[in-house]
Structure 1
Amino acid sequence: RLYPHLLDLQVTYPTLTINYRFAPNGDIHNAILNNTIDIGLTTACPVNPNIQSEPIGEEPLLLVTPRHVKSPTWETLCQLGFIDHPDARHHAELLLGANFEQYQTAQLRPIKQSGFSNQIGLILLPVARGLGFTVLPANAVAAFAQQSAIKAHHLPTPVSETLYLSSLAGRVLPQRATNVANVIKANV
Protein backbone atom coordinates (compact mmCIF):
# COMPACT_ATOMS: atom_id res chain seq x y z
CA ARG A 1 0.00 0.00 0.00
CA LEU A 2 2.98 2.32 0.40
CA TYR A 3 4.60 1.85 -2.98
CA PRO A 4 2.14 3.95 -5.05
CA HIS A 5 2.62 6.87 -2.63
CA LEU A 6 6.39 6.54 -2.84
CA LEU A 7 6.20 6.50 -6.64
CA ASP A 8 4.18 9.74 -6.46
CA LEU A 9 7.09 11.22 -4.54
CA GLN A 10 9.52 9.98 -7.20
CA VAL A 11 7.39 11.58 -9.93
CA THR A 12 7.59 14.87 -8.02
CA TYR A 13 11.37 14.48 -7.57
CA PRO A 14 12.66 12.65 -10.67
CA THR A 15 16.22 12.41 -9.34
CA LEU A 16 14.95 10.43 -6.35
CA THR A 17 15.23 6.67 -6.80
CA ILE A 18 12.92 4.50 -4.74
CA ASN A 19 14.45 1.12 -3.90
CA TYR A 20 11.46 -0.77 -2.53
CA ARG A 21 12.02 -4.37 -1.53
CA PHE A 22 10.82 -6.85 1.01
CA ALA A 23 13.37 -8.52 3.26
CA PRO A 24 13.47 -10.16 6.68
CA ASN A 25 13.86 -7.80 9.62
CA GLY A 26 17.47 -8.85 10.24
CA ASP A 27 18.45 -8.12 6.64
CA ILE A 28 16.96 -4.62 6.91
CA HIS A 29 18.81 -3.98 10.18
CA ASN A 30 22.07 -5.13 8.56
CA ALA A 31 21.52 -2.88 5.54
CA ILE A 32 21.02 0.08 7.88
CA LEU A 33 24.18 -0.80 9.81
CA ASN A 34 26.13 -1.22 6.55
CA ASN A 35 24.80 2.15 5.39
CA THR A 36 23.40 0.66 2.18
CA ILE A 37 19.93 2.03 2.89
CA ASP A 38 18.84 5.27 4.55
CA ILE A 39 15.71 3.97 6.25
CA GLY A 40 13.93 0.68 6.74
CA LEU A 41 10.48 -0.39 7.80
CA THR A 42 10.51 -3.43 10.08
CA THR A 43 8.27 -5.33 12.44
CA ALA A 44 11.02 -6.06 14.94
CA CYS A 45 12.43 -3.37 17.17
CA PRO A 46 16.18 -3.43 16.63
CA VAL A 47 18.27 -4.42 19.64
CA ASN A 48 21.46 -2.91 18.23
CA PRO A 49 22.06 0.53 19.82
CA ASN A 50 23.45 1.76 16.49
CA ILE A 51 19.96 1.64 14.99
CA GLN A 52 17.35 4.17 16.02
CA SER A 53 13.71 3.38 15.46
CA GLU A 54 10.27 4.77 16.13
CA PRO A 55 6.97 2.91 16.19
CA ILE A 56 4.71 4.27 13.45
CA GLY A 57 1.81 1.82 13.24
CA GLU A 58 0.35 -1.61 13.83
CA GLU A 59 -0.09 -4.47 11.37
CA PRO A 60 -2.58 -7.25 12.26
CA LEU A 61 -1.41 -10.84 11.74
CA LEU A 62 -3.77 -13.31 10.10
CA LEU A 63 -3.93 -17.07 9.89
CA VAL A 64 -4.42 -17.95 6.22
CA THR A 65 -5.74 -21.31 5.06
CA PRO A 66 -7.17 -22.71 1.85
CA ARG A 67 -10.71 -21.44 1.23
CA HIS A 68 -12.40 -24.69 2.30
CA VAL A 69 -11.23 -24.35 5.94
CA LYS A 70 -14.11 -22.57 7.67
CA SER A 71 -13.00 -22.76 11.30
CA PRO A 72 -9.39 -23.86 11.83
CA THR A 73 -8.59 -26.24 14.65
CA TRP A 74 -5.16 -27.35 15.78
CA GLU A 75 -5.79 -30.73 14.18
CA THR A 76 -6.72 -29.07 10.88
CA LEU A 77 -3.52 -27.04 10.91
CA CYS A 78 -1.44 -30.14 11.64
CA GLN A 79 -3.08 -31.96 8.73
CA LEU A 80 -2.57 -29.06 6.33
CA GLY A 81 1.08 -28.37 7.06
CA PHE A 82 2.93 -25.07 7.37
CA ILE A 83 3.97 -22.85 4.48
CA ASP A 84 7.15 -21.23 5.74
CA HIS A 85 8.58 -17.81 4.82
CA PRO A 86 11.38 -15.68 6.29
CA ASP A 87 9.24 -14.19 9.08
CA ALA A 88 6.78 -17.08 9.39
CA ARG A 89 8.16 -18.61 12.58
CA HIS A 90 8.04 -15.25 14.31
CA HIS A 91 4.51 -14.56 13.04
CA ALA A 92 3.33 -18.04 14.01
CA GLU A 93 4.80 -17.73 17.48
CA LEU A 94 2.89 -14.51 18.06
CA LEU A 95 -0.48 -15.48 16.58
CA LEU A 96 -0.65 -19.25 17.13
CA GLY A 97 0.90 -18.92 20.58
CA ALA A 98 -1.87 -16.54 21.61
CA ASN A 99 -4.69 -18.67 20.18
CA PHE A 100 -3.78 -22.36 20.38
CA GLU A 101 -2.85 -23.91 23.71
CA GLN A 102 -1.23 -26.79 21.82
CA TYR A 103 1.24 -24.41 20.20
CA GLN A 104 2.81 -23.59 23.55
CA THR A 105 4.29 -27.07 23.81
CA ALA A 106 4.48 -27.95 20.12
CA GLN A 107 6.12 -24.80 18.65
CA LEU A 108 5.27 -26.12 15.15
CA ARG A 109 7.33 -29.32 15.59
CA PRO A 110 4.42 -31.67 14.99
CA ILE A 111 3.28 -29.56 12.07
CA LYS A 112 4.99 -30.63 8.90
CA GLN A 113 6.46 -27.99 6.66
CA SER A 114 4.62 -28.14 3.34
CA GLY A 115 6.56 -25.44 1.54
CA PHE A 116 8.68 -22.30 1.70
CA SER A 117 8.89 -19.08 -0.29
CA ASN A 118 10.89 -15.95 0.31
CA GLN A 119 8.89 -14.00 -2.29
CA ILE A 120 6.09 -12.01 -0.65
CA GLY A 121 3.86 -12.37 -3.71
CA LEU A 122 4.25 -16.16 -3.81
CA ILE A 123 3.85 -17.17 -0.16
CA LEU A 124 0.08 -17.63 -0.46
CA LEU A 125 0.20 -19.54 -3.75
CA PRO A 126 0.65 -22.97 -2.10
CA VAL A 127 -2.04 -22.03 0.44
CA ALA A 128 -4.40 -21.22 -2.43
CA ARG A 129 -3.68 -24.66 -3.88
CA GLY A 130 -4.58 -26.41 -0.63
CA LEU A 131 -1.02 -27.32 0.32
CA GLY A 132 -0.92 -25.73 3.76
CA PHE A 133 -1.48 -22.68 5.94
CA THR A 134 0.64 -19.73 6.98
CA VAL A 135 0.60 -16.58 9.09
CA LEU A 136 1.09 -13.21 7.40
CA PRO A 137 0.44 -9.52 8.03
CA ALA A 138 -2.99 -8.39 6.86
CA ASN A 139 -1.49 -6.13 4.22
CA ALA A 140 0.33 -9.02 2.53
CA VAL A 141 -2.86 -11.10 2.59
CA ALA A 142 -4.90 -8.26 1.04
CA ALA A 143 -2.37 -7.91 -1.80
CA PHE A 144 -2.71 -11.55 -2.91
CA ALA A 145 -4.44 -11.77 -6.31
CA GLN A 146 -6.36 -15.03 -5.73
CA GLN A 147 -8.54 -13.97 -2.79
CA SER A 148 -11.26 -16.48 -3.69
CA ALA A 149 -8.83 -19.38 -3.11
CA ILE A 150 -7.81 -18.46 0.45
CA LYS A 151 -9.48 -17.71 3.76
CA ALA A 152 -8.00 -15.23 6.22
CA HIS A 153 -9.04 -16.01 9.78
CA HIS A 154 -9.43 -13.41 12.51
CA LEU A 155 -8.72 -15.50 15.60
CA PRO A 156 -10.30 -14.91 19.04
CA THR A 157 -7.14 -13.26 20.39
CA PRO A 158 -6.05 -10.73 17.77
CA VAL A 159 -2.33 -10.08 17.45
CA SER A 160 -0.64 -7.16 15.73
CA GLU A 161 2.96 -6.36 15.06
CA THR A 162 4.32 -2.90 15.63
CA LEU A 163 5.80 -1.27 12.54
CA TYR A 164 9.10 0.52 13.15
CA LEU A 165 10.76 3.12 10.98
CA SER A 166 14.49 2.66 11.51
CA SER A 167 17.71 4.37 10.50
CA LEU A 168 21.32 4.59 11.60
CA ALA A 169 21.58 6.13 15.08
CA GLY A 170 23.20 9.54 15.21
CA ARG A 171 23.00 10.05 11.45
CA VAL A 172 21.24 13.12 10.14
CA LEU A 173 19.08 11.82 7.34
CA PRO A 174 19.32 13.47 3.94
CA GLN A 175 16.21 15.41 2.92
CA ARG A 176 15.24 12.69 0.42
CA ALA A 177 15.06 10.11 3.22
CA THR A 178 13.13 12.51 5.44
CA ASN A 179 10.62 13.06 2.62
CA VAL A 180 10.24 9.29 2.14
CA ALA A 181 9.83 8.78 5.90
CA ASN A 182 7.09 11.42 6.00
CA VAL A 183 5.21 9.71 3.15
CA ILE A 184 5.48 6.37 4.95
CA LYS A 185 4.22 7.83 8.24
CA ALA A 186 1.29 9.50 6.49
CA ASN A 187 0.20 6.28 4.78
CA VAL A 188 0.75 3.52 7.32
Structure 2
Amino acid sequence: MLNPNWLKTFKTLVEINHFTKTAEALFMTQPGVTQHIQKLEQACGAELIIKQGKRFELTEQGQKVYEYANQFMEEQQQLLSELKQDDENKGPISISCSGSLAQWLYPMFIAIQKQYPGLAIEVEAAPNSKIIDNVHSNTSSIGLVTQQPSSGEFEISHIGDEELYLVMPKRMHGKEIDQELLDELGMVKHPDAEHYVSRYLRESGEASLSSIRVSKIPAVSYVNQLSQILYPIAQGIGFTVLPKSAIVSSPWYDELYIYSPQKIVSDKLYLIHKANRQLPARYQRFTQLIKQSLQD
Protein backbone atom coordinates (compact mmCIF):
# COMPACT_ATOMS: atom_id res chain seq x y z
CA MET A 1 0.00 0.00 0.00
CA LEU A 2 1.32 3.43 -0.93
CA ASN A 3 1.83 5.82 1.97
CA PRO A 4 -0.89 8.53 1.85
CA ASN A 5 1.60 11.19 3.04
CA TRP A 6 3.96 10.42 0.15
CA LEU A 7 1.05 10.62 -2.29
CA LYS A 8 -0.03 13.97 -0.85
CA THR A 9 3.51 15.35 -1.15
CA PHE A 10 3.81 14.05 -4.72
CA LYS A 11 0.42 15.49 -5.75
CA THR A 12 1.30 18.88 -4.28
CA LEU A 13 4.71 18.85 -5.96
CA VAL A 14 3.18 18.08 -9.36
CA GLU A 15 0.67 20.91 -9.04
CA ILE A 16 3.20 23.51 -7.77
CA ASN A 17 6.11 22.21 -9.91
CA HIS A 18 8.73 23.58 -7.51
CA PHE A 19 10.45 21.77 -4.64
CA THR A 20 11.01 24.80 -2.38
CA LYS A 21 7.48 26.15 -2.81
CA THR A 22 6.07 22.65 -2.21
CA ALA A 23 8.01 22.42 1.03
CA GLU A 24 6.62 25.80 2.13
CA ALA A 25 3.05 24.81 1.22
CA LEU A 26 3.29 21.59 3.24
CA PHE A 27 5.29 23.13 6.11
CA MET A 28 8.15 20.76 5.38
CA THR A 29 11.82 21.10 4.57
CA GLN A 30 12.96 20.69 0.99
CA PRO A 31 14.99 17.57 1.89
CA GLY A 32 11.80 16.20 3.47
CA VAL A 33 9.92 16.65 0.20
CA THR A 34 12.76 14.97 -1.71
CA GLN A 35 12.76 12.07 0.74
CA HIS A 36 9.01 11.52 0.30
CA ILE A 37 9.37 11.44 -3.47
CA GLN A 38 12.27 9.00 -3.29
CA LYS A 39 10.36 6.66 -0.97
CA LEU A 40 7.32 6.80 -3.26
CA GLU A 41 9.48 5.93 -6.27
CA GLN A 42 10.98 3.00 -4.34
CA ALA A 43 7.51 1.76 -3.38
CA CYS A 44 6.32 2.08 -7.00
CA GLY A 45 9.48 0.54 -8.41
CA ALA A 46 9.62 3.25 -11.07
CA GLU A 47 11.08 6.71 -11.68
CA LEU A 48 8.25 9.26 -11.38
CA ILE A 49 9.96 12.56 -12.19
CA ILE A 50 12.88 13.83 -14.22
CA LYS A 51 14.53 16.74 -12.36
CA GLN A 52 15.40 19.96 -14.15
CA GLY A 53 16.97 22.10 -11.40
CA LYS A 54 14.27 22.89 -8.86
CA ARG A 55 11.62 21.96 -11.38
CA PHE A 56 10.88 18.63 -13.08
CA GLU A 57 8.94 16.73 -15.72
CA LEU A 58 6.68 13.76 -15.04
CA THR A 59 7.52 10.36 -16.48
CA GLU A 60 4.73 8.23 -17.93
CA GLN A 61 4.65 6.28 -14.66
CA GLY A 62 4.63 9.55 -12.73
CA GLN A 63 1.52 10.70 -14.63
CA LYS A 64 -0.28 7.49 -13.67
CA VAL A 65 0.68 7.87 -10.01
CA TYR A 66 -0.48 11.51 -10.07
CA GLU A 67 -3.88 10.44 -11.44
CA TYR A 68 -4.08 7.77 -8.76
CA ALA A 69 -3.17 10.29 -6.04
CA ASN A 70 -5.96 12.61 -7.24
CA GLN A 71 -8.50 9.80 -7.16
CA PHE A 72 -7.30 8.64 -3.74
CA MET A 73 -7.58 12.12 -2.23
CA GLU A 74 -11.04 12.65 -3.71
CA GLU A 75 -12.30 9.34 -2.35
CA GLN A 76 -10.78 10.06 1.04
CA GLN A 77 -12.46 13.46 1.15
CA GLN A 78 -15.79 11.97 0.13
CA LEU A 79 -15.49 9.32 2.85
CA LEU A 80 -14.69 11.88 5.54
CA SER A 81 -17.62 14.00 4.38
CA GLU A 82 -20.00 11.04 4.53
CA LEU A 83 -18.77 10.07 7.99
CA LYS A 84 -19.75 13.49 9.29
CA GLN A 85 -23.30 13.06 7.98
CA ASP A 86 -26.09 10.88 9.34
CA ASP A 87 -28.72 11.10 6.62
CA GLU A 88 -31.96 9.43 7.71
CA ASN A 89 -32.92 8.92 4.05
CA LYS A 90 -29.78 7.14 2.81
CA GLY A 91 -27.96 3.91 3.54
CA PRO A 92 -28.68 0.23 4.23
CA ILE A 93 -31.34 -1.00 6.65
CA SER A 94 -30.55 -4.55 7.79
CA ILE A 95 -33.07 -6.40 9.97
CA SER A 96 -33.49 -10.00 11.10
CA CYS A 97 -36.86 -11.20 12.38
CA SER A 98 -39.27 -14.13 12.28
CA GLY A 99 -40.74 -15.25 8.98
CA SER A 100 -44.20 -14.00 9.94
CA LEU A 101 -42.90 -10.55 10.88
CA ALA A 102 -40.83 -10.42 7.68
CA GLN A 103 -43.92 -11.24 5.61
CA TRP A 104 -45.91 -8.53 7.39
CA LEU A 105 -43.30 -5.75 7.68
CA TYR A 106 -41.39 -6.11 4.41
CA PRO A 107 -44.08 -4.47 2.21
CA MET A 108 -44.21 -1.54 4.66
CA PHE A 109 -40.42 -1.21 4.51
CA ILE A 110 -40.44 -1.26 0.72
CA ALA A 111 -43.09 1.49 0.72
CA ILE A 112 -40.61 3.66 2.64
CA GLN A 113 -37.78 2.76 0.25
CA LYS A 114 -40.01 3.74 -2.67
CA GLN A 115 -40.39 7.16 -1.06
CA TYR A 116 -36.67 7.42 -0.23
CA PRO A 117 -34.68 5.56 -2.96
CA GLY A 118 -31.40 6.23 -1.14
CA LEU A 119 -32.33 3.52 1.37
CA ALA A 120 -31.57 -0.17 0.78
CA ILE A 121 -33.75 -2.66 2.69
CA GLU A 122 -32.29 -6.01 3.80
CA VAL A 123 -34.60 -8.35 5.74
CA GLU A 124 -33.66 -11.90 6.78
CA ALA A 125 -36.31 -14.26 8.15
CA ALA A 126 -34.82 -16.50 10.83
CA PRO A 127 -35.47 -18.20 14.20
CA ASN A 128 -34.47 -16.44 17.43
CA SER A 129 -31.03 -18.06 17.68
CA LYS A 130 -30.08 -17.07 14.13
CA ILE A 131 -31.39 -13.53 14.63
CA ILE A 132 -29.14 -13.14 17.67
CA ASP A 133 -26.18 -14.55 15.71
CA ASN A 134 -26.85 -12.13 12.84
CA VAL A 135 -26.76 -9.11 15.14
CA HIS A 136 -23.69 -10.47 16.94
CA SER A 137 -21.82 -10.88 13.63
CA ASN A 138 -23.05 -7.51 12.26
CA THR A 139 -24.90 -9.28 9.44
CA SER A 140 -27.96 -7.39 10.68
CA SER A 141 -27.91 -4.12 12.59
CA ILE A 142 -31.12 -4.85 14.48
CA GLY A 143 -33.11 -7.96 15.33
CA LEU A 144 -36.63 -8.70 16.57
CA VAL A 145 -36.78 -11.64 18.97
CA THR A 146 -39.31 -13.18 21.38
CA GLN A 147 -36.63 -14.30 23.84
CA GLN A 148 -34.11 -11.90 25.36
CA PRO A 149 -30.47 -12.88 24.72
CA SER A 150 -28.48 -13.46 27.89
CA SER A 151 -25.30 -11.85 26.58
CA GLY A 152 -24.51 -8.35 27.84
CA GLU A 153 -23.22 -7.33 24.41
CA PHE A 154 -26.75 -6.40 23.28
CA GLU A 155 -28.96 -3.45 24.02
CA ILE A 156 -32.48 -4.82 24.47
CA SER A 157 -35.77 -2.95 24.48
CA HIS A 158 -39.34 -4.24 24.70
CA ILE A 159 -40.87 -2.89 21.49
CA GLY A 160 -44.33 -4.44 21.77
CA ASP A 161 -46.39 -7.62 22.04
CA GLU A 162 -47.55 -9.84 19.20
CA GLU A 163 -50.77 -11.76 19.68
CA LEU A 164 -51.22 -15.42 18.82
CA TYR A 165 -54.41 -16.12 16.87
CA LEU A 166 -56.46 -19.32 16.77
CA VAL A 167 -57.68 -19.37 13.18
CA MET A 168 -60.38 -21.57 11.68
CA PRO A 169 -62.63 -21.72 8.59
CA LYS A 170 -65.28 -19.00 8.45
CA ARG A 171 -68.10 -21.49 9.03
CA MET A 172 -66.82 -21.94 12.59
CA HIS A 173 -67.87 -18.41 13.57
CA GLY A 174 -69.93 -18.48 16.78
CA LYS A 175 -69.34 -22.17 17.53
CA GLU A 176 -68.12 -23.34 20.92
CA ILE A 177 -64.51 -24.49 20.87
CA ASP A 178 -63.97 -27.86 22.54
CA GLN A 179 -62.05 -31.11 22.06
CA GLU A 180 -64.71 -32.56 19.77
CA LEU A 181 -64.70 -29.55 17.43
CA LEU A 182 -60.91 -29.36 17.12
CA ASP A 183 -60.69 -33.14 16.63
CA GLU A 184 -63.27 -32.86 13.86
CA LEU A 185 -61.42 -29.99 12.15
CA GLY A 186 -57.93 -31.39 12.60
CA MET A 187 -54.75 -29.37 12.91
CA VAL A 188 -52.90 -27.77 10.01
CA LYS A 189 -49.40 -28.38 11.27
CA HIS A 190 -46.32 -26.24 10.72
CA PRO A 191 -42.95 -26.21 12.55
CA ASP A 192 -44.33 -24.26 15.55
CA ALA A 193 -47.93 -25.48 15.45
CA GLU A 194 -48.02 -27.79 18.49
CA HIS A 195 -46.09 -25.27 20.61
CA TYR A 196 -48.38 -22.39 19.63
CA VAL A 197 -51.59 -24.42 20.01
CA SER A 198 -50.57 -25.72 23.44
CA ARG A 199 -49.68 -22.24 24.67
CA TYR A 200 -52.84 -20.71 23.28
CA LEU A 201 -55.16 -23.26 24.86
CA ARG A 202 -53.30 -23.12 28.19
CA GLU A 203 -53.09 -19.31 28.47
CA SER A 204 -56.42 -18.22 26.95
CA GLY A 205 -58.14 -18.09 30.36
CA GLU A 206 -60.90 -20.54 29.38
CA ALA A 207 -61.24 -23.80 31.29
CA SER A 208 -62.87 -25.49 28.30
CA LEU A 209 -59.81 -24.76 26.17
CA SER A 210 -57.14 -25.57 28.77
CA SER A 211 -58.62 -29.06 29.17
CA ILE A 212 -58.18 -29.90 25.47
CA ARG A 213 -55.52 -32.56 24.85
CA VAL A 214 -53.43 -31.33 21.93
CA SER A 215 -51.75 -34.71 21.44
CA LYS A 216 -55.14 -36.23 20.58
CA ILE A 217 -55.92 -33.76 17.76
CA PRO A 218 -55.30 -35.36 14.36
CA ALA A 219 -53.23 -33.59 11.71
CA VAL A 220 -55.01 -32.89 8.43
CA SER A 221 -52.06 -31.18 6.73
CA TYR A 222 -48.46 -30.10 7.23
CA VAL A 223 -46.55 -27.34 5.44
CA ASN A 224 -43.39 -25.47 6.44
CA GLN A 225 -43.93 -22.68 3.90
CA LEU A 226 -45.33 -19.77 5.91
CA SER A 227 -47.25 -18.26 3.01
CA GLN A 228 -49.16 -21.53 2.47
CA ILE A 229 -50.16 -22.47 6.04
CA LEU A 230 -53.49 -20.61 5.95
CA TYR A 231 -54.55 -21.78 2.49
CA PRO A 232 -56.24 -25.05 3.54
CA ILE A 233 -58.07 -23.24 6.37
CA ALA A 234 -59.37 -20.66 3.89
CA GLN A 235 -60.62 -23.67 1.90
CA GLY A 236 -62.48 -25.00 4.95
CA ILE A 237 -59.88 -27.52 6.10
CA GLY A 238 -58.43 -27.58 9.63
CA PHE A 239 -57.29 -24.97 12.16
CA THR A 240 -54.00 -23.69 13.49
CA VAL A 241 -52.40 -21.02 15.70
CA LEU A 242 -50.03 -18.40 14.28
CA PRO A 243 -48.74 -14.94 15.23
CA LYS A 244 -50.96 -12.04 14.21
CA SER A 245 -48.42 -10.83 11.63
CA ALA A 246 -48.70 -14.07 9.63
CA ILE A 247 -52.48 -13.84 9.52
CA VAL A 248 -53.14 -10.17 8.79
CA SER A 249 -50.60 -10.25 5.94
CA SER A 250 -52.19 -13.34 4.37
CA PRO A 251 -54.05 -12.98 1.05
CA TRP A 252 -56.73 -15.25 2.58
CA TYR A 253 -57.33 -13.08 5.65
CA ASP A 254 -60.96 -12.33 4.70
CA GLU A 255 -61.70 -16.06 4.34
CA LEU A 256 -60.71 -16.89 7.92
CA TYR A 257 -62.40 -16.88 11.32
CA ILE A 258 -60.25 -15.66 14.23
CA TYR A 259 -61.41 -16.81 17.64
CA SER A 260 -61.55 -14.22 20.47
CA PRO A 261 -60.44 -15.77 23.78
CA GLN A 262 -61.20 -14.37 27.23
CA LYS A 263 -57.52 -13.57 27.69
CA ILE A 264 -55.21 -12.41 24.91
CA VAL A 265 -52.25 -14.74 24.34
CA SER A 266 -49.16 -12.95 23.08
CA ASP A 267 -45.38 -13.01 22.79
CA LYS A 268 -43.28 -10.14 24.04
CA LEU A 269 -41.19 -8.78 21.18
CA TYR A 270 -37.74 -7.34 21.84
CA LEU A 271 -35.62 -5.11 19.63
CA ILE A 272 -31.91 -5.90 19.95
CA HIS A 273 -28.77 -4.28 18.60
CA LYS A 274 -25.12 -4.11 19.61
CA ALA A 275 -24.59 -2.34 22.93
CA ASN A 276 -22.51 0.85 22.95
CA ARG A 277 -23.18 1.23 19.24
CA GLN A 278 -25.59 3.99 18.34
CA LEU A 279 -27.92 3.17 15.48
CA PRO A 280 -27.80 5.57 12.50
CA ALA A 281 -30.68 8.06 12.24
CA ARG A 282 -32.22 6.14 9.31
CA TYR A 283 -33.27 3.33 11.69
CA GLN A 284 -35.51 5.61 13.77
CA ARG A 285 -38.26 5.66 11.13
CA PHE A 286 -38.29 1.86 10.94
CA THR A 287 -38.30 1.18 14.68
CA GLN A 288 -41.22 3.59 15.06
CA LEU A 289 -43.06 1.83 12.23
CA ILE A 290 -42.55 -1.57 13.91
CA LYS A 291 -43.76 -0.23 17.26
CA GLN A 292 -46.83 1.40 15.71
CA SER A 293 -47.68 -1.72 13.70
CA LEU A 294 -47.68 -3.85 16.84
CA GLN A 295 -50.09 -1.45 18.52
CA ASP A 296 -52.62 -1.39 15.66
Instruction: Output the aligned Cα RMSD.
Output: 2.6
Q: Which amino acid aligns with 1:134?
A: T
Distance, in Å, in 1 between the alignment partners of 2:133 and 2:124 is 14
User: Do structure 1's residue 123 and structure 2's residue 229 form an aligned pair?
Assistant: yes
**Aligned sequence identity (%):** 33
- How much does 1:127 deviate? 1.6
Q: Aligned partners of 1:167 and 1:184: how far apart in 2?
A: 15
Residue 249 of structure 2 aligns with which residue? 143
How far did 1:134 drift? 0.8
- Measure, in 1, the Cα distance between the counterparts of 2:259 and 2:277: 41
Other-structure match for 1:55: 158
Structure 1 residue runs of 5 or longer lacking an equivalent are: none
1:63 touches 1:136 (CA, 8 Å); kept in 2? yes
Cα deviation per residue 1:87-113 (whole Å; 9 max; x = unaligned)? Answer: 43443233111242224xx4x322233
Q: How does 1:171-186 map to 2 (within 5 A)?
A: 171-186=277-292
> Aligned partners of 1:89, 1:169: CA distance in 2, in Å?
35
Label 1:113 to 1:53 Cα distance change in 2 as closer, same or farther (>3 A). farther
Q: From the superposition, tell whether residues 96 and 30 of structure 1 become closer, same or farther in structure 2 (CA, over 3 Å).
A: farther
Cα 1:79–1:24 shift into 2, 3 Å:
farther
1:11 aligns to 2:114 (yes or no): yes
Number of residue pairs matched? 184
Larger radius of gyration: 2
2:198 equivalent to 1:93:
yes
* Paired letter, 1:78: D
SS in structure 2 opposite 1:109? helix
Q: What does 1:28-39 align with in structure 2 at a 5 Å threshold?
A: 28-39=131-142
Report if the CA contact (8 A) 1:24-1:86 is conserved: no
Deviations 1:127-183 (A, max 9, x none): 222332111223322222224432111122221222221223343334444443244
1:155 and 2:228 aligned: no
Q: Is the 8 A contact 1:81 1:132 kept in 2?
A: yes
Once residues 221 and 243 of structure 2 are traced to their aligned partners in structure 1, the CA distance between those partners, rounded to angstroms, is 18
TM-score, normalised via structure 2 length: 0.54
Where in structure 2 are there 5+ consecutive unaligned residues? 1-103
- Check the 8 A contact 1:38/1:177 in 2, yes or no: no
SS in structure 1 at match of 2:258: strand
Tell me the equivalent position of 1:168: 274
Q: Which amino acid is 2:129 matched to?
A: G
Alpha-carbon displacement from aligned partner over 1:33-92 (angstroms, at most 9, x marks no partner): 3321111223x1223314432111222221101222232222211232222334434432
Over 3 Å counting, the alpha-carbon distance change for 1:133 and 1:19 in structure 2 is: same
User: How far, CA to CA, are the matches of 1:116 and 1:168 in structure 2?
Assistant: 37
1:8 positional shift = 4.1
Kept in 2: contact 1:88–1:135 (CA 8 A): yes
Distance 2:290 2:263 in 1: 28
CA contact (8 A) 1:29 1:51 kept: no
Aligned to 2:55: none
Which structure has greater helix proportion?
2
- 2-structure distance, mates of 1:136, 1:101: 18
Separation in 2 of the partners of 1:96 and 1:47? 27
